[in-house]
Structure 1
Amino acid sequence: MSKTNHDTPTGGREPQNIDFSMVLASAVHDMKNSLGMLLNSLDELRQEQADSIGESPRFNTLQYEAERMHNDLVQLLGIYRLGENNLSAHIEEHFVPDFLSEHMARHTPLLEGLGIELAIEADDTNGFFDEDLLTGVLNNTINNALRYTKSKIKLTASEQQGYLVIGVEDDGDGYPASMQHSGTPGFKSLDFKSGSTSLGLFFASSVAQLHSDGERAGSIRLHNGGSLGGGVFEIWLP
């Protein structure tokens, strides 16, 4: 006599409760690590074959797009952790000029390959911030500046009104009026239908807000001008 189970209509298998967001986060984490290894290999290949591919437009495009995807995945993981209330800033003291110099060393091969001039203008000051989170913000901002600049990108750092202000400037056409603002865009304000979600700005402003001192919290500001006359991204950290 055959036995039927009226409680398991899927052929005897127990239904599985799958946390799809966790599955996606795990997949994104693996992709991020793979792209990180790819980027390291591209840097090594550029050094080994400097004469033949150093200024190759196709190679530069490959490295730029791989960097952009890597940055996007870093942001997605950060926003996932933010939604899970599992993203926090580990604040440590850093000498800002050294931090910016070490950070820009990662981008130098691609900048040189694209013929883009790089400058750093930073006060000799210490800052208190999460190095990994701020690196993620700057990676995305510099990658965005690479798309719109004409020939120059500058990193700046100074103390203003009791805040450490780190900026990324370019000599492109600047931000459109709709993007120039101070403060923090909310997640509900992101437009996933337009193809330009401003996800990077949401991530940057979220990272800024994780840095606080008493009642003061960090923020981001976008405007045009600066010393290069193009777009200026600033992150203000207390």
Structure 2
Amino acid sequence: MTKKAPNGRQDSVADFSFMLASSVHDMKNSLGMLLTTLDETMRDMPAKTPEQQQRFATLQYEASRINGELIQLLSLYRMNLQAMPIRVEENYVRDAIDDQLARNDMLFVSRHLNVNFNCDEDLLWYFDSDLVGGVLHNVLVNCARYTRSQLSIKAWLEDSGLFVQIEDDGQGYPEAMLSQPVDLGASVSFESGSTNLGLYFAQTVAQLHKAKDRKGSIALANGGDLGGGVFTLFLP
């Protein structure tokens, strides 16, 4: 028989969770300001040497990655409290993806990445643009780190659902991620510091999108047209 924790302890845990979430929120806002300032600095004072370019690229990537993870943590926290209702509306798919490409434009420039985007301008679908945008942002930031020079994004309708696919020309996903892409507990690596939070968030967001008896999903693969990692988001 499982014993219940005293009310005082439950209240303490709840208070700590709230304080932690508040701190994460403040850090997210500070990082957002840092990213804006960094973008402005990179535009006003472009790198003059390859070494400076590399430093800018590292700063841009790390700040974007941490900011994205903080947003994901806050979103998952609110989902756990059932305080974050999903807002499914009809959206132009191209606009939703364009927003994330524009958001990461300086990151792509600093890493000399060529981005190819293929999506019908009139393609419409129902989804929560903020949550789905967060998923795509995280994938694009990670691709910017691991790809060599090419990124490809495409979106299309098939089998009564929307598919969004992001490919890169990097080394591809590790085998462990392909076999258990969203097993949050099993995929923690203390050596690399990776928790696969982004993939867990992506799966959670995908599954919040439902149509009749179907749920959204994500899939990881290697190969594709560019020979690297392939991330696919499906929304029914």
TM-score class, shorter-chain normalisation, is 0.7 to 0.9
Moved over 6 A (4+): none
Q: Distance in 2 between matches of 1:190 and 1:149?
A: 22
Question: After superposition, what is the alpha-carbon deviation per residue over 1:14-33, rounded to whole angstroms, capped at 9, x for unaligned?
Answer: x9x54101100000011101
Match of 2:58 in 1: 61
- Cα offset, 1:50, TM superposition: 2.7
Q: Distance in 2 between matches of 1:221 and 1:123?
A: 22
Match of 1:135 in 2: 133
Which ranges of structure 1 fall in alignment gaps of 5 or more residues?
1-14
Is 1:37 aligned to 2:61, yes or no?
Answer: no
Q: Identify which of 166, 169, 172 aligns with 1:171.
A: 169
Moved more, 53-62 or 115-124: 53-62
Q: Distance in 2 between matches of 1:56 and 1:193?
A: 30
- Cα offset, 1:186, TM superposition: 4.8
Which ranges of structure 2 fall in alignment gaps of 5 or more residues?
1-8
Question: After superposition, what is the alpha-carbon deviation per residue over 1:23-82, rounded to whole angstroms, capped at 9, x for unaligned?
Answer: 000000111011111111111112211364896211221111110110110111112112
Q: Identify which of 24, 28, 38 aligns with 1:28.
A: 24
Equivalent residue runs for 1:118-157 within 5 Å = 118-124=115-121, 125-157=123-155
Report the TM-score, using the length of structure 1 for normalisation.
Answer: 0.86
Q: Distance in 2 between matches of 1:121 and 1:138?
A: 15
Aligned partner letter, 1:83: N
- Cα offset, 1:91, TM superposition: 0.8
Q: Distance in 2 between matches of 1:53 and 1:26?
A: 40
Aligned partner letter, 1:71: G
Match of 1:5 in 2: none
Aligned partner letter, 1:233: F
Match of 1:234 in 2: 232
Is 1:102 aligned to 2:108, yes or no?
Answer: no
Report the TM-score, using the length of structure 2 for normalisation.
Answer: 0.86
SS in 2 for 1:50: coil
Given that 1:121 and 1:156 are in contact with CA atoms closer than 8 Å, whether structure 2 keeps it comes out as yes
Is 1:89 aligned to 2:77, yes or no?
Answer: no
Aligned partner letter, 1:37: M
Structure (1 or 2) with the larger CA radius of gyration: 1
Q: How many pairs are equivalent?
A: 223
Given that 1:175 and 1:223 are in contact with CA atoms closer than 8 Å, whether structure 2 keeps it comes out as yes
Q: Distance in 2 between matches of 1:104 and 1:191?
A: 29
Root-mean-square deviation (CA, aligned residues, Å) is 2.3
Is 1:49 aligned to 2:28, yes or no?
Answer: no
Q: Distance in 2 between matches of 1:51 and 1:175?
A: 31
- Cα offset, 1:104, TM superposition: 0.5
Q: Distance in 2 between matches of 1:186 and 1:178?
A: 10
- Cα offset, 1:196, TM superposition: 2.4
Identity of aligned residues (%): 43
Question: After superposition, what is the alpha-carbon deviation per residue over 1:162-194, rounded to whole angstroms, capped at 9, x for unaligned?
Answer: 110111110011112222259x83554443645
Moved more, 121-130 or 208-217: 121-130
Q: Identify which of 209, 212, 225 aligns with 1:211.
A: 209
Q: 1:149 to 1:176 in 2, by over 3 A?
A: same
SS in 2 for 1:158: strand
- Cα offset, 1:130, TM superposition: 0.8
